[in-house]
A = this chain, B = another copy of it.
Amino acid sequence: MTRPPTSRDLARLAGVSQATVSRVLTNNPKVNPETRARVLQVLKDANYTPNALARAMKTGRTDTIGVFMTRVTSPFHAELLDEIGRVLSSVGLHMILWNIEHDPEETIADVLHQRLVDGFLLTSATYDSKLHTMALASGTPTVLLHRGIDGLDCDQVVGDNWQGAYDAGRYLVEAGHTDIGLVTLTHTGNTSRDRDLGFRAALTDAGVKIKPSNVVSVGVPHADGHAAARKLLSKRKPPTAIYTVTDLLAFGILDGARAIGANVPDDVWLIGYDNTELAAWESFDLTSVEQPVHAIVQTGIDLLRKRIAEPDRPTEIISLPCPLVIRGSTANTPWASAPRRTS
């Protein structure tokens, strides 16, 4: 096998013109059933597959979606990517993956103009990145997944972070906690912001104040979680519960707590966000607000396909509910009904 056979080669073999072969390939109804059968047989015998490049050049569609992500070693991102792969494959689309941390900005800029893909999925939009602006300016259909940009005229599908955070806050308050720690990310994006604000709102609505000394903001989720835990738990009067905006951060906090001998949930309750697969592991057994990964991805890809088919349709911004999943990190310890700090 030196060169893959072309449709012209097979046309000759089947005794028809290349156009007819092409018509068979595209299921064009204007072809005689007998001819179609004969051609199909020849194609099959030759194990023929149309050249995707030539086809894409002609039709303008590549059946490929570009995905921009950050590091997939973060468990949630891995789950997101996995789901994106599953859904794209189920609708016959390929995926080109770019990591916005590795890839130089020029590469990304080039890619946006190359028409190499039919559309983009951005999963890590941040306000300080030009990526979403560039993507939209390129004219290629684009959907923001998981992380949105407020007020941007672009299809977006996100979890309802405010609501999820609010539910987590209310849950803690209703369990009797009044001295609560909050660990957020120094990240610029509405995701962490809403996971912060929603939580505060729940406490405020319940008349619970959050001490400034109980709020820590960190940069690197897992690594900085250690320090955050140490800071909060080594206080003279440590909080009885800690809520944090990411599972990965919660794992770091748990690690940090263990390192200084603090027990979860006996000494302190812990809540994460994302409900990653790891949260269910015994070693963590973490109560967490679930992001509906499958729904987000499925909805987002549906939206992207609609926009590809109909570029001028109105923008949709969809927010999906995030249910709280309760596990052992907020187990029913004695002071849950009669919180320690009131004793």
**What are 28 A-to-B residue pairs whose CB atoms are below 8 Å?**
A1-B139, A4-B113, A4-B115, A47-B113, A49-B110, A50-B114, A51-B57, A53-B114, A53-B116, A72-B72, A72-B78, A72-B81, A73-B75, A73-B277, A75-B78, A78-B78, A85-B98, A85-B99, A89-B104, A90-B102, A92-B107, A94-B98, A94-B111, A94-B116, A251-B283, A255-B282, A256-B282, A258-B283
Q: Which of B50, B57, B95, B258 contacts A57 (CB 8 A)?
A: B57
Total copies of this chain within the assembly: 2
Q: How far is the CA of A57 from the CA of B109 in the complex (A)?
A: 22
Which chain B residues lie closer than 8 Å to A78 at the CB level? 72-73, 75, 78
Q: How far is the CA of A254 from the CA of B99 in the complex (A)?
A: 33
Which chain B residues lie closer than 8 Å to A99 at the CB level? 82, 85-86, 89
Q: How far is the CB of A119 from chain B (nearest CB, A)?
A: 15
Q: Given A47-B113, A53-B116, A72-B81, 18 more contacts at CB 8 Å?
A: A4-B113, A49-B109, A53-B56, A73-B75, A85-B98, A85-B102, A86-B102, A89-B102, A89-B103, A94-B98, A95-B96, A95-B98, A96-B96, A226-B282, A251-B281, A255-B281, A255-B282, A259-B282
Q: Which of B98, B222, B282 contacts A258 (CB 8 A)?
A: B282
Count class of interface residues, chain A: 35 or more
> Do A116 and B71 touch (CB < 8 A)?
no
